[in-house]
């Protein structure tokens, strides 16, 4: 039987020993920590992503209960984790894009692999030509119902998008989809990330998307 794994995002006081206490608390419910990534660090707090395994039959809610027993720890979200654990995800993605051949193939690699690298549900590339919005390519898992407008284009820099905006298809809003976008070579072309059910994109995640999109745009040129 495959052991289920989860992506646990926590906000915790940035104090010595706090992460160790969290690890002990998770271990008390049988959780095995496979990896940890720092999402954001600011004065007095940190946001971390932990990939953890639970024993077969254990409920993911037990992770929340165990973690929030620790003073100064707040669980932002718990999601099933199906991605591979990779040490240098962005570098591998960039390498795959660079070797993918013509531009359409490169964009497809970006769409297919970005969700795993950036820990989101799906990725799509949009281009605005005049008043027409074109869906250049999308990853598996992207909504079948596509947006017909993108009033936020042209886009000058990476930013989180309003998940309740009127341009969003209703099904996206029903799924409480957090969104972020970055220009891809020009202000009228953008790579868009969707995270159904949240959590919201942190400023550091938006910046990470912007850096990646900038590098990809250079490769495409």
Tell me the pLDDT tens digit for each residue of 142-168.
999 999 999 999 999 999 999 999 999
pTM: 0.75
Q: Quick check: 203 pLDDT over 80?
A: yes
In the chain, beta strands by DSSP E = 5-13, 32-42, 45-53, 73-80, 122-129, 132-138, 159-161, 178-183, 189-195
Q: In this predicted structure, what is the pLDDT of residue 82?
A: 66
For residues 59 and 136, state if they share a domain. no
Q: Using pLDDT thresholds of 50, 70 and 90, give the confidence band for residue 66.
A: very high
For residues 54 and 98, state if they share a domain. no
Q: What are phi and psi of 35, to 5 degrees?
A: -160, 160
Section 27-44 average pLDDT: 86
Q: In this predicted structure, what is the pLDDT of residue 1?
A: 52
Domain that holds residue 115: 89-220
For residues 112 and 164, state if they share a domain. yes
């Amino acid at each position: 039987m495959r052991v289920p794994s989860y992506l646990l995002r926590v906000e915790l006081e940035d104090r010595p020993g706090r992460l160790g206490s969290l690890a002990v608390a998770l271990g008390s419910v049988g959780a095995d920590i496979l990896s940890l990534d720092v999402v954001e660090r600011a004065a007095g707090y940190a946001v971390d992503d932990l990939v953890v395994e639970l024993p077969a039959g254990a409920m993911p809610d037990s992770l929340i209960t165990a973690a929030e027993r620790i003073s100064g720890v707040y669980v932002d979200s718990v999601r099933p984790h199906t991605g591979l654990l990779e040490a240098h995800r962005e570098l591998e993605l960039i390498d795959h894009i660079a070797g993918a051949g013509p531009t359409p193939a490169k964009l497809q690699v970006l769409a297919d692999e970005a969700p795993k690298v950036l820990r989101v549900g799906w990725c799509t590339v949009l281009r605005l030509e005049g008043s027409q919005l074109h869906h250049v390519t999308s990853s598996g898992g992207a909504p079948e119902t596509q947006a017909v407008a993108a009033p936020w284009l042209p886009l000058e820099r990476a930013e989180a998008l309003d998940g309740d905006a009127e341009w969003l298809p209703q099904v996206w809003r029903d799924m409480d989809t957090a969104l972020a976008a970055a220009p891809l070579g020009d202000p009228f072309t953008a790579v868009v990330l969707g995270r159904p059910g949240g959590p919201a994109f942190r400023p550091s995640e938006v910046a990470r998307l912007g850096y990646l999109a900038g590098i990809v745009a250079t490769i495409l040129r």
